[in-house]
Structure 1
């Protein structure tokens, strides 16, 4: 779990208050972390938060994909991760899907904050932690599993689960069997993600050519993804009688 997608989101709770949140998403498990910060924080402070909240839990990332916020384009940020051996990737007009995974999460997070915080702005940090727990404990459409299950192999207990005792189905006494179960779980998630990557669904109608590398397509139904795709993710559709 060492490939992360990173973005800075500015949620306007009302006219007088703008909350800045660093959203970090693991590409494989879809686990997300919502980290409160200030809009005025420079790259060094953002890096400090990243090490405190992400690296201490998951280690140094192999790859970080981010938007082109000035903090992520700074000399400090680039030099730091080059020294750490981490590859930096940036979203661009020709590859708009690079940061697409955070778009849906950012919308969910914004709706949660506006719904639960209301006028009680002093409680937003508590809501942020609860929102992160709820998201990571919810079924992800891409993997078919909740992020907690993919990372830890089990669902964490919530306040609603405090009364029942843990069942034998959640924890195996045989370490070798438990390792097999986690390996099988990761294989299932990887296969589902690969099926999504090759995009076997369709055909879809192209509605707009963004540029030579990106097209906007018409998607019927709720796929939870951006409608703009890179040409590398699209394949031509042929009728049965066509070659």
Structure 2
């Protein structure tokens, strides 16, 4: 867990497991941050389920802290922390052992070295802003050591070497990231009602995690802009089938240009996003419909399909979302089912005088 003070840029690196529970994450935050600096007035974080869950929200509501979340799949919204994450990752990648079990022991030196670096935006290091001075650092060691405790010398020597290496590595990574940060960035504004194409990432959909990412369509749409959120994000009107957050950073959008001569050009015969099933057979008849409800899983509809060329004994239940090729047949079935229900309701009813 990486925590960065927006004013001083002071960073705190907290080791924890990827599957840490929300109550344990809160305990680590209080132990490493609140205990030293107090309750923050506001927090900007990513949309990790631990931070968007009821426990975390209610906890900091009780503490009087305002919670803000970055735009979905756009980590630059919390760019300060994400930049430090990248720096820390590069440092650990160079010095972690092959089994990768000692990364937590490297965090102390990395945190100390990072907070010694002077920021270009403030002209001071985080230590100088908080303490009004740079802390003392390990001095040069005289070798060979002939004192009474070689183990103490080895400990100091290891800390000294790790601190020098980490500072050099972090400074090099910072220069590299600064060089490429704004190379491809562009500013674009949209109005409510504008049509846009949305960049949907494969890892947003469980069904696409096993397919080749390079062959997945990069943009979907067109969709309408329904609201502006902040200075660089927009709320988009997405189909109900896309169960994802509908606020996107401007970098995830691009304008849709309709073909005036052929308005149907934007329509596609490919499967909708998130669907990897396509049928080569035709439907002969839809026999029945059922609603599947399970605890913890969104409900969905299934249809009993009788395929052409197959006997009724081989009819199969199929989810509605994979029957995207047969929307006309589904609509007809729903209309006939509604009409039949109305007729049944009307049977045996005597109109009142």
TM-score, scaled relative to structure 1? 0.57
Given that 2:47 and 2:72 are in contact with CA atoms closer than 8 Å, whether structure 1 keeps it comes out as no
Based on CA coordinates, which of the two structures has the bigger radius of gyration? 2
1:214 aligns with 2:232: yes
Q: Which residue of 2 aligns with 1:106?
A: 85
Partner of 1:147 in structure 2?
A: 126
Q: Does 1:25 align with 2:4?
A: yes
Aligned CA distance change for structure 1 residues 44 and 158 (closer, same or farther; 3 Å): same
Contact 1:97/1:229 (8 A) holds in 2: no
Change (3 A) 1:96 1:114: closer
Task: State the Cα distance separating 1:206 from its structure 2 match.
Answer: 6.9
Alpha-carbon separation, structure 2, partners of 1:101 and 1:135 = 13
Does structure 2 conserve the Cα–Cα contact (< 8 Å) formed by 1:94 and 1:211?
no
Q: Which residue of 2 aligns with 1:234?
A: none
Partner of 2:50: 71
Q: Do structure 1's residue 39 and structure 2's residue 18 form an aligned pair?
A: yes
CA contact (8 A) 1:66 1:99 kept: yes
1:1-243 pair list within 5 angstroms: 22-92=1-71, 97-119=76-98, 121-160=100-139, 207=186, 209=188, 213-214=231-232
Task: Give the Cα–Cα distance (whole angstroms) in 2 for the partners of residues 126 and 24 of structure 1.
Answer: 18
Q: Displacement of 1:135 after TM fit? A: 0.3
Q: Is the 8 A contact 1:64 1:86 kept in 2?
A: yes
Structure 1 residue 122: deviation in Å?
4.0
Structure 2 counterpart SS, 1:115? helix
Does the 8 Å contact 2:96/2:102 carry over to 1? yes
Q: Contact conserved, 1:137 with 1:155, CA < 8 A, in 2?
A: yes
Give 1:205 shift.
Answer: 9.5
The one of the two structures with greater contact order (alpha-carbon pairs below 8 A, sep at least 6) is 1
Instruction: Report how far residue 94 of structure 1 moved.
Output: 11
Query: RMSD between aligned alpha carbons?
Result: 3.0
CA distance in 2, matches of 1:155, 1:47: 30
The alignment partner of 2:122 has SS state of coil
Cα deviation 1:14-70 (Å, max 9, x = unaligned): xxxxxxxx0000000000001000111121110000001101100111111111111
* Structure 1: 5+ residue stretches without partners: 1-21, 164-203, 216-227, 231-243
Unaligned runs of 5+ in 2: 143-182, 192-230, 234-248, 252-353
* Secondary structure of 1:108 counterpart: helix
Count residues with an aligned counterpart: 157
